[in-house]
Amino acid sequence: MLDSGVRAQFDLTEEQRQIAGLAAEIAQREIAPHIAQWDREHTFPRALYTKLDGAGIMGILVPEAYGGVGADYVSYSLAIEELARIDAGTAVTVSVHSMICSAILRLGNEAQKRQWLPELAGGDTIAGFALTEPDCGSDAAALRASAKRVDGGFLLNGRKQWCTNGSYAGVTMGMFRTGGAGAKGVSAFLVDNASPGITVEKVTEKLGIHTSNTCDLAFDDVFVPESALLGNEGDGFGSAMTALAGGRIGIAAQATGILAGCLDQSVAFAKYRVAFGRAIGAFEGVSFKIAQMAMDLDAARLLVYRAAGLADAEKPFVIEASKAKLFASTAARKHAAEALQIHGGYGYTTEFAIERFYRDAKITEIYEGTSEIQQIIIARSLLGKLD
């Protein structure tokens, strides 16, 4: 595989380089030989995550005190990138799982940390996320699913759509309305998926990321104890935004990995494929596309590493995470199309991985906040709220 000058020259620690190398090795050994079949059959490779746990990747952000590796966000970003370089679906499964681990660390009390983090870090339990509803997506403050206070806890009711990892999760971070209208009426809960009343209503068939599980969950009088409340009552919208800010680093890294995979495939094909008596990489129409791809990969990596570095330093990183996600996802979608063009008719067939990268890239511009939402966040940081 190719490596960019930025990756080679960036001031990574030895531990960070080892984690990136380990993730790349696992992706090549455990994912690459199977990904074409998994993608074709829409397989969620549950056993894979036990193997990823053996390498510490499922608990990469969890401190050692709770059974994790205790690595930093830069290491996490590197691991996600290497997984996405082979399969974006695996990468987003780990990304969302890690996002919930991070949210529990930031927002949870000690009892919640000790209850859930060792299981999540050990790979025995996968974490899911339930925010979007049929009538609200980007406008998360408008959600309708309710949490009614009862003796000893809450009753959850409502429908959640496009829940990542939902069919396989052991615990789901869900947002429910405990108060009046608007953001201040929303609370976050850690819901045990074994609780009576939770139903997987539909597994979503998607354009891409076929190895990632996405489903609709129904909550019908689901009782959760008081201890399931994550953070303070009424702080759920802020909790969701905190989780999503960290999650955007993961999705930016996923998009960067897709872009890196496109570059790998394009360079190899441009050297191999001959037209008019020459390798097609000798023609400027192909070589210039590859040069632009390499440049944007460097830029995406720098933006991701910066956001991750700020998160590690416990400095504000929301704007930087939005910039990283916006740039990396745009570049991934653009260059997946260019990579397919370089491959010509072969790129449009399932014989080559490029058609899968092409399908997978688009979602990075949508989930964890659309590109338009990222532009709003970035613009408001410069202009303030003008209306």
Q: What is the model's pLDDT at position 202?
A: 95
Residue 8: what are its φ and ψ, rounded to 5°? -70, -35
Contacts 24+ apart (CB under 8 A), 60-63: 60/19, 60/98, 61/98, 61/101, 61/102, 61/105, 62/101, 62/105, 62/117, 62/120, 62/121, 63/105
Q: What is the model's pLDDT at position 122?
A: 87
Q: What is the model's pLDDT at position 9?
A: 61
Fold adopted by 244-383: Butyryl-CoA Dehydrogenase, subunit A; domain 3 (1.20.140)
Q: Among candidates 163, 146, 165, 143, which has minimal Cα distance to 154?
A: 146
Burial of 159 (C-beta count, 10 Å sphere; 0-12/13-18/19+): middle
Instruction: Look up the CATH architecture of domain 128-237.
Output: Beta Barrel (2.40)
Distance between CA atoms of residues 3 and 11, nearest Å: 15
Distance between CA atoms of residues 262 and 338, nearest Å: 9
Q: What is the model's pLDDT at position 19?
A: 94
- For 210, how many CA atoms within 13 A lie in the half-sphere containing its CB? 16
| CATH class for the region spanning 5-125 | mainly alpha
Q: What is the model's pLDDT at position 3?
A: 62
Give the residue ranges of the chain where pLDDT is below 50.
none
Q: What is the model's pLDDT at position 337?
A: 98
Q: What is the model's pLDDT at position 75?
A: 97
Question: What are the Cα distances from residue 249, in Å, to 74, 76, 153?
Answer: 9, 9, 34
Distance between CA atoms of residues 279 and 244, nearest Å: 44
22-46: per-residue pLDDT in tens?
Answer: 999 999 999 999 999 999 999 999 9
> Residues in the chain, how many?
387
- Domain residue limits, the chain: 5-125, 128-237, 244-383
Distance between CA atoms of residues 177 and 146, nearest Å: 4
Point out the residues that are catalytic. 368
109-124: per-residue pLDDT in tens?
Answer: 999 999 999 999 987 8
What separation, in Å, do the N-terminal and C-terminal C-alpha atoms of the chain show? 49
DSSP annotation string for 41-89? HT---HHHHHHHHHTT-TTTTS-GGGTS----HHHHHHHHHHHHTT-HH
Distance between CA atoms of residues 85 and 25, nearest Å: 11
